[in-house]
Structure 1
Amino acid sequence: MPQDDLAPAGITPFDELVYRATVSRRVASPAEIAAELGHSAERVGRALDRLREQGLVGRLSGTRRRYAAIEPQTALDALVRARTGELEHVRLAAAELSRMFAAAREDGVEEVQIATGGDALARWFVTLQQEARQEVLTLDRPPYALTTSNPVEATALTRGVVYRAVYAPEALEWPGVLNDIRELVKHGEQARVLPGLRVKVAIADRRLALMPLSLDLTGVRAAIIRPSTLLDAMVDYWELCWRQALPLDAPAAGPADDPLGEEDRQLLTLLVGGLKDDAIARQLGWSVRTMRRRMSRLHELLGASNRFQAGVTATRRGWL
Structure 2
Amino acid sequence: MSQELAPVGIDAFDEQVYRALLSRQAATPAELAGELGTSSERVVRALDRMHDRGLVGRMSGTRRRYAAIDPQPAVEALIQARTAELGRVRSAAAELARLFEAARRGEGEEVEIIAGREALGRWFVRLQQEAKTEVRTLDRPPYALTTANPVEETAMRGGVTYRAVYAPEALEWPGVLDDIRHLVDRGEQARVLPGLRIKLAIADESLALMPLSLDLTDVRAAVIRPSSLLDALMDYWQLCWNQATPLLATGETDHASADPDEDDRLLLALLVSGLKDEAIARQLGWSVRTMRRRMSRLHEQLGAANRFQAGVMATRRGWI
Q: TM-score, normalised by structure 1?
A: 0.64
Corresponding position of 1:149: 148
Equivalent runs, 1:1-320 vs 2, <5 Å: 110-251=109-250, 253=253, 255-256=255-256, 258-320=258-320
* Structure with the larger RCO, 1 or 2 (CA within 8 Å, 6+ apart): 2
1:135-172 Cα deviation digits (max 9, x unpaired): 00000000112224102111111111100000001111
Aligned residues: 212
The residue identity in structure 2 corresponding to 1:223 is: A
Q: What code does the residue aligned with 1:197 have?
A: L
Cα 1:148–1:303 shift into 2, 3 Å: farther
Answer yes or no: is the 8 Å Cα contact 1:255–1:318 preserved in 2: no
Task: Measure the CA separation in 2 of the matches of 1:184 and 1:215.
Answer: 24
The letter for the 1-side match of 2:150 is: P
Separation of aligned partners in 1, 2:147 and 2:193: 18
C-alpha distance in 2 between matches for 1:188 and 1:247: 14
How far is the alpha carbon of 1:290 from its aligned partner? 0.9
Instruction: Give the ranges of 4+ consecutive aligned residues of structure 1 lying more than 6 Å apart after TM superposition.
Output: none
Distance in 2 between the 1:308 and 1:131 partners?
Answer: 41
The change in CA–CA distance for 1:164 and 1:118 in structure 2 (over 3 A counts) is same
TM-score where L is the length of structure 2: 0.64
User: Aligned in 2, Cα 1:258/1:208: closer, same or farther, shift over 3 Å?
Assistant: farther
Aligned partners of 1:255, 1:133: CA distance in 2, in Å?
A: 35
Give 2:291's aligned amino acid: M
Corresponding residue SS for 2:289: helix
Residue 278 of structure 1 deviates from its aligned partner by 1.1
> Which residue of structure 1 aligns with residue 42 of structure 2?
none
Whole-angstrom distance in 2 between the partners of 1:258 and 1:227: 49
C-alpha RMSD of the superposition? 1.6
Q: Which has the larger radius of gyration?
A: 2
Q: Which residue identity lines up with residue 129 of structure 1 in the other structure?
A: Q
1:254 CA displacement: 5.8
Q: SS in structure 2 opposite 1:138?
A: strand
Task: Return the alpha-carbon distance in structure 2 between the equivalents of residues 210 and 202 of structure 1.
Answer: 5
Task: State the 1:250 CA deviation.
Answer: 2.3
Find the residue that maps to 2:260 and give its secondary structure. coil
1:262 CA displacement: 1.9
Does the Cα contact within 8 Å between 1:200 and 1:212 map onto a contact in 2?
Answer: yes
Whole-Å Cα distance in 1 between the matches of residues 254 and 194 of structure 2?
Answer: 24
Work out the percentage of aligned pairs sharing the same amino acid: 75
Secondary structure in 2 aligned to 1:180?
Answer: helix
Shift of 1:255: 4.8
Q: Distance in 1 between matches of 2:246 and 2:254?
A: 13
What is the distance in 1 between the residues matched to 2:233 and 2:128? 17
Deviations 1:96-153 (A, max 9, x none): xxxxxxxxxxxxx920110011111111111101111110000000011222410211
| Partner in structure 2 of residue 50 of structure 1 | none
CA contact (8 A) 1:121 1:145 kept: no
Q: Relative to structure 1, is the Cα distance of residues 195 and 258 closer, same or farther in structure 2, using a 3 angstrom cutoff?
A: farther
What's the CA shift for 1:306? Answer: 2.3
Secondary structure in structure 2 of the residue aligned to 1:151: coil
Counterpart residue identity of residue 192, structure 2: V
Deviations 1:51-89 (A, max 9, x none): xxxxxxxxxxxxxxxxxxxxxxxxxxxxxxxxxxxxxxx
Conservation of the 8 A alpha-carbon contact between 1:253 and 1:262: no
* Counterpart contact for 1:254–1:318, Cα < 8 Å: no
* Inter-partner Cα distance in structure 2 for 1:176 and 1:254: 29
